[in-house]
């Protein structure tokens, strides 16, 4: 039994059929390891009776917190909401549809070696599928652009120290950078490999196109190097265009017979318009993210919250009852 406070953040959507088994399994793992713990559940505006099932469980399960979002924000927003409300010295996040609860002891064992971040890594990182190749390509590009090395195929199964969580919740764009933000704080990173589960319901799997948009947002929000690269490309293109213009002037001055050619005009114009379109696209992404941050709007809204009827810490706190000069336990 370790004398630390551990929070487990569990995002949920339409999980009424499996939430009871998951909570019981999480509580069993935590009760065997830690003296103090809490389970923070975030309901991402489920359309079924997920919140009702949890409120019934709160009558018997200790330290069970529930936060219901007013509208659906997705998996990352639900995890961010849980991180904002978790109070543990260490915080564990997991997706109940894909991550085994039985790995909680393995995460904790890795943290005892001094790691401030312990992340689960899916064992399909070395596959030859298109998604696996794109995943490896993204993390290589991310490391080259930012200098931060993140384990490929790292999942939502993570253990984070309080210092790392404190840094994350200070960022306005933490829901955009949830996958990479913890690695900005420390190089003490542990890894636990596992095979993902496929439980029914929950958050829908994101398509390859959605993952590509998310990857571009993460890359652009993490570093200004892509913009600097586009600036360099624009400079090279403009220089090449200037030399080509001088070449055309030279041909017109020193050549007696000049054949009017469509290719020599259309091809450079097409290339220039392509480069300009790419640059404007990247700039629009930056402006979009800046506009989101400038609006200072909250990422999520809590519609209701509740807690367990049984709280471990309530009987352990020293409180003044107002009738005596000495504290009563």
Residue 41 banded pLDDT, cuts 50, 70, 90:
very high
> Over 90: is that where the pLDDT of 53 sits?
yes
Q: How much is the pLDDT for 315?
A: 53
Phi and psi, residue 90, nearest 5°: -130, 145
Q: Look over the chain and give the mean of its residue pLDDT values, rounded to a whole number.
A: 80
* pLDDT, tens digit, 9 for 90 and up, residues 207-235: 777 777 777 777 777 766 666 677 677 76
Residue 25 banded pLDDT, cuts 50, 70, 90:
very high
CA distance 223 to 219: 6
> Over 90: is that where the pLDDT of 153 sits?
no
Question: What are the boundaries of each domain within the chain?
Answer: 2-221+299-315, 225-295
> Which of 66-70, 109-113, 251-255 has the weakest average pLDDT?
251-255
CA distance 293 to 105: 38
Please state the rounded mean pLDDT for residues 76-85: 94
> Over 90: is that where the pLDDT of 237 sits?
no
Report H helices in the chain: 19-31, 50-57, 75-85, 104-111, 130-146, 162-168, 208-222, 225-254, 263-295
Which residue has better confidence, 233 or 252? 233
Q: How much is the pLDDT for 193?
A: 92
Q: How much is the pLDDT for 219?
A: 74
Which residue has better confidence, 252 or 44? 44
Cross-strand partners of 304: 68
Q: Any idea of the CA torsion for 226, 227, 229, 230, to the nearest 10 degrees?
A: 120
Superfamily of domain 2-221+299-315: Spore Coat Polysaccharide Biosynthesis Protein SpsA; Chain A (3.90.550.10)
């Amino acid at each position: 039994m370790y004398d630390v406070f551990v929070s487990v953040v569990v995002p949920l959507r339409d999980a009424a059929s499996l939430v009871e088994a998951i909570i019981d399994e999480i509580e069993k793992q935590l009760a065997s390891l830690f003296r103090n713990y809490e389970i923070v559940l975030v309901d991402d505006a489920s359309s079924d009776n997920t919140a009702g099932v949890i409120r019934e469980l709160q009558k018997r399960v200790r330290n069970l917190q529930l936060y219901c979002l007013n509208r659906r924000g997705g998996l990352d927003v639900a995890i961010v909401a849980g991180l904002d409300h978790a109070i543990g010295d260490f915080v564990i996040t997991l997706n109940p549809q894909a991550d085994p609860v039985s790995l909680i002891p393995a995460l904790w064992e890795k943290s005892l070696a001094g790691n401030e971040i312990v992340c689960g890594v899916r064992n399909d990182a070395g596959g030859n599928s298109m998604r696996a190749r794109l995943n490896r390509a993204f993390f290589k590009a991310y490391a080259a652009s930012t200098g931060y090395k993140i384990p490929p195929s790292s999942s939502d199964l993570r253990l984070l120290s309080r210092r790392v969580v404190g840094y994350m919740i200070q960022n306005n764009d933490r829901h955009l950078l949830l996958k990479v933000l913890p690695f900005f704080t420390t190089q003490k990173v542990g890894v636990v490999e596992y095979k993902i589960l496929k439980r029914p319901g929950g958050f829908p799997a994101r398509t390859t196109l959605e993952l590509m948009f998310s990857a571009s947002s993460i890359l652009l929000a993490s570093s200004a190097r892509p913009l600097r690269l586009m600036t360099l490309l624009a400079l090279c293109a403009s220089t090449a265009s200037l030399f080509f213009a001088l070449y055309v002037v030279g041909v017109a001055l020193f050549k007696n017979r000049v054949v009017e050619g469509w290719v020599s005009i259309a091809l450079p114009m097409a290339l220039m318009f392509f480069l300009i379109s790419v640059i404007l696209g990247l700039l629009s992404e930056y402006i979009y993210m800046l506009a989101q941050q400038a609006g200072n709007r909250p990422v999520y809204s809590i519609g209701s919250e509740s807690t367990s009827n049984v709280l471990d810490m309530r009987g352990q706190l020293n409180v003044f009852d107002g009738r005596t000069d000495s504290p009563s336990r």
